[in-house]
Every structure is written in C-alpha cells, then in structure tokens.
Amino acid sequence: MSSDTATIDTTLAAKHRAVWASGDYPAIAADLVAPLGPLLVEATGIGPGDRVLDVAAGTGNVAIPAAQTGASVVASDLTPELLAAGQRIAADRGVVLDWRQANAEELPFADNEFDVVTSAIGVMFAPHHQAAADELLRVCRPGGRVGLLSWTPEGLVGQMFAAMKPFVAQPPPGVQPPPLWGREDHVRELFAGRVHGFAARRGTLDVDRFRSGAAFRDYFKSTYGPTISAYRAIAGDPDRVAALDTALAELGDRFLTRPSVMAWEYLIITAVKSEPGTRHDRS
C-alpha cells in the first residue's frame, strides 16, 4: 500500500468512525435489530469451545449471545463508542468476552486464529468489500465457519440507502455500496475458490415500532449515523432537505405491511473455509 493510499484509507476510516459514533446506534441495536444476533449464532452453530471473532460487532448483538453459549469470543469494531456501550451491556448481563478496536479491512489477529468468524449488519459497511472479505477468511482456520447477516438491496434498509444516494457525495473510487453484501452472487464472488458448503437464505425481521413512514423517517433522522450524515450534507439547502424528508417517509409507508409493522429483509450466508491448496470453483 502506498503512503498516499494509506493516508486516504486512514481518512476514510476516521469518517466512518465519526458516522457510527453519531446519533444513537446502541438504541437501534437494542430496540430494533437485537433479534438478528441470536439468528447468526444459531446459523453458525457456535457453542462451547469455539474461538469466535465477531467483526464490526457494534454493541455486541452477535458477540454477547455467542459468549453465552460458552464460546470464547472477541468482539471487534472500528468505533470505540460502540464497543464501550457493548462492554456495559455485557457487564450488566454477566457475560465475559474480549473487546478490541479494529478495522475490518486490517484485522489485528493472526492467520487461522478463529474457529468461527461472524458479522451481522457490520462488515457490510466496510468500504472495500474484497479487502474485508479477505480478512474474514484470513483469520478463520481451515475447516472453520464464516457467518454473515446483511441487509438486502431490495429490503427496507437497502432501499433507504438507495433513497439517500442522490443526497450524499459520491464515495471515493473503489468504495462499494453496503447492500451488495445482501446479494448471494456478490458474496460468492468475494469468497470464490476459498470456501465450500456455501449456503444462503433470506429472512425478514418484523419491526413493530413505527405507525407511519414519517415516524420511521424521524427516528432514523435523529438516531442512525448514515441518515444523520446525509442530512448534514444538505443542511444548507431546504429544498433538498424537504425532498429527502419526503423520500424517506414514502419509503417507510411502502414497507408498512400492516399497522405499525415493517418487514426488513436480510440475507444469512454461512460457509466453511477450505483447506490450503484446495480450490472450490463452485462453493
């Protein structure tokens, strides 16, 4: 990596940390997406004796239930504020695990160190998908499991990012949209030739909180880092603010499947890391 590239990557990482430190992601993790963590723990078969790394762990929605199974767990995340919140939650629940600040694209762990490597709606936000995928596989031992849960492009969160796209600056070259991790073919390509037993299934998280699209918009406008960032980018243009207000409220209304219930689609992927020298053209 050149020094110029290193500077750019460091700057980008700092921006990402600031985005996720803004708002109140711990509230979103607790109030809306908490059920996703146990789903990924179950899908990857985590249990006693497993050495587990949860990447982009946030406040521990996967890491804490993984540790509750008796596994030895390391929770890593780019944003120290989220790790601190996770530590408090784990302490309140009497759960012991390690918390490490780390960039998903440059994990500070040894090759083949973990039996299971997971990430739920976390690594999908790393800007360079191939770099992050390579790191997930590097730290997983041969024969170990990788488990991912990501929002799909077609689901509510994927569509929210699509709605915000016209209102934010173009990302730097090489940065890919987070919801691509919610496409099976994209992840197959990222892991190509290095895993077997690749399995993918879609599911929906029923969120019973918002009675209208406007309520959904206002919650995310004040709580969710990427949405807060989008509004900050257009704060000096009332017409664009009004347009984004309308777009997000209409999106929320479209996903209200019944009074106050939204179905948020996700994709769970599990795979087994292949032994060295083994290449699986079809995983």
Q: pLDDT, tens digit, for every residue of 159-174?
A: 999 999 999 989 889 9
Which one, of 59, 74, 178, 180, lies nearest residue 118 by Cα? 74
Specify the pLDDT at position 259. Answer: 86
Specify the pLDDT at position 2. Answer: 33
Q: What are the φ/ψ torsions at residue 68 (nearest 5 degrees)?
A: -70, -15
Average pLDDT over residues 86-105: 97
Average pLDDT over residues 109-137: 98
Q: pLDDT, tens digit, for every residue of 234-261?
A: 999 999 999 999 999 999 999 998 888 9
The 3-class secondary structure across 166-221, one letter per residue, is: HHCCCCCCCCCCHHHHHCHHHHHHHCCECEEEEEEEEEEEEEECCCCHHHHHHHHH
Q: Report domain extents, the chain.
A: 3-273
Residues whose CB falls within 8 Å of the CB of residue 100, separated by 6 or more in sequence, listed in order: 74, 75, 76, 83, 108
Please, is 5 exposed, middle or buried when counting C-beta atoms within 10 Å of its C-beta (0-12, 13-18, 19+)?
exposed
pTM above 0.75, yes or no: yes
Specify the pLDDT at position 30. Answer: 96
Average pLDDT over residues 65-84: 98
Asked: is 3-273 a CATH 3.40.50.150 domain? The reply is: yes
Instruction: Say whether pLDDT at 115 is over 60.
Output: yes
Specify the pLDDT at position 215. Answer: 97
Q: Which residue has the tokens 């949209």?
A: 177
Q: What are the φ/ψ torsions at residue 162 (nearest 5 degrees)?
A: -65, -40
| CA distance linking residue 40 with residue 30, whole number of Å | 16
Specify the pLDDT at position 258. Answer: 83
